Amino acid sequence: MDIFKRKNRIYVPVITEEIAKETLIRCSSCGRLINYKDLKNNLNVCPYCGHHFRMSIQERINLLTDTDTFKAINSDIEPLDVLNFYDGAYYKNQLAKVRQETGFNSALITGKAKIDGVDVAIGAFSFEFIGGSLGFTEGEKIVKLFTYAKKNQLPVVVKFSSGGERIQEGVFSMLQIVRIIQAVDVFKEDGGLFISILTNPVYGGASAIGMLGQFVFAEKDAMIGLTSPRITQLAFGMNFSRELQSAEKLLENGFLDGVFERKDLKSTISKVLKIYTNRSLI
């Protein structure tokens, strides 16, 4: 299929601090040139038009949690290549490369942290790791995160950013959706709170899992749906409006509980956590 033969893969450029000091970035929304330092000082948001650029996983953790409170858990779970998958390149080689580049074993970082003083179990998808796709390792880590939160009576906050299932793991990737839904159900039935944050983009199974939160928030400029417009075009030859998958449209249609600018995300989650922790026994 053409989907597997995509020649022009998009990689997020790695800009070192050295280069960055003198680098100008062109905003993909308004076209204005922004000094890299100004962009970083503004939470990766365009100071001219408010467009939200992607953040690194470390920046995300720093944005959402109290300083120095994040402690990673289950970071040693290794990815699997059960199918010995090859699509012009071996998956195992791709995994080795991305693990070396990012320093992570998977597209999902999980841990415990504090948000405005409230203890939480937290997970965040990194789009830098094979497009934040959902494979066995990511499924295993989410299940373990909810199990850990249940055992320790902690609310769960997960930041989603995913291109969908990891095609290199085939049906093993699809199966993770079932496992995760079951783990989330058990957690919620036990009175647990799950806050979901959807950031650009969230596609495939991740979008379905993201919708399971009792509170589902999205960041401004997030695109959310089952498949991206590009995949829909390749697979079915169909074009449909990007606006239909915008966070703002989903909020209008009742799928989300709120769409917020990046600077307001932590304070919004904090309000929910404080109400929850005062009401419950934990």
CA gap 41, 49 in Å, rounded: 15
Complex with Zn ion: residue 51 or 144, whichever CB lies closer: 51
Cα(14)–Cα(139) distance, integer angstroms: 27
How far apart, in whole angstroms, are the C-alpha atoms of residue 265 and residue 282?
A: 23
* Dihedral, CA of residue 100, residue 179, residue 54 and residue 245, to nearest 10: 140
Closest distance between Zn ion and the C-beta of residue 199, in Å?
Answer: 18
- CB of residue 224 vs Zn ion: minimum separation in angstroms? 21
C-beta closer to Zn ion: residue 48 or 240: 48
Over its C-alpha atoms, the chain yields an Rg (Å, rounded) of: 19
Which of residues 81 and 221 has its CB atom nearest to Zn ion in the complex? Answer: 221
Q: What is the largest CA-CA distance in the chain?
A: 54
Q: Which residues bind Zn ion (CB under 5 A)?
A: 27, 29-30, 46, 48-49, 51
* Shortest distance, position 32 Cβ to Zn ion, whole Å: 5
**47 upstream amide cis, omega within 30 of 0:** no
What is the closest distance, in whole angstroms, from the C-beta atom of residue 249 to Zn ion in the complex? Answer: 21
Cβ closest to Zn ion, residue 39 vs residue 142: 39
Minimal distance, residue 41 CB to Zn ion, in Å: 15
Distance CA 267, CA 251 (A): 19
With respect to Zn ion, which residue has the nearer C-beta, 39 or 154? 39
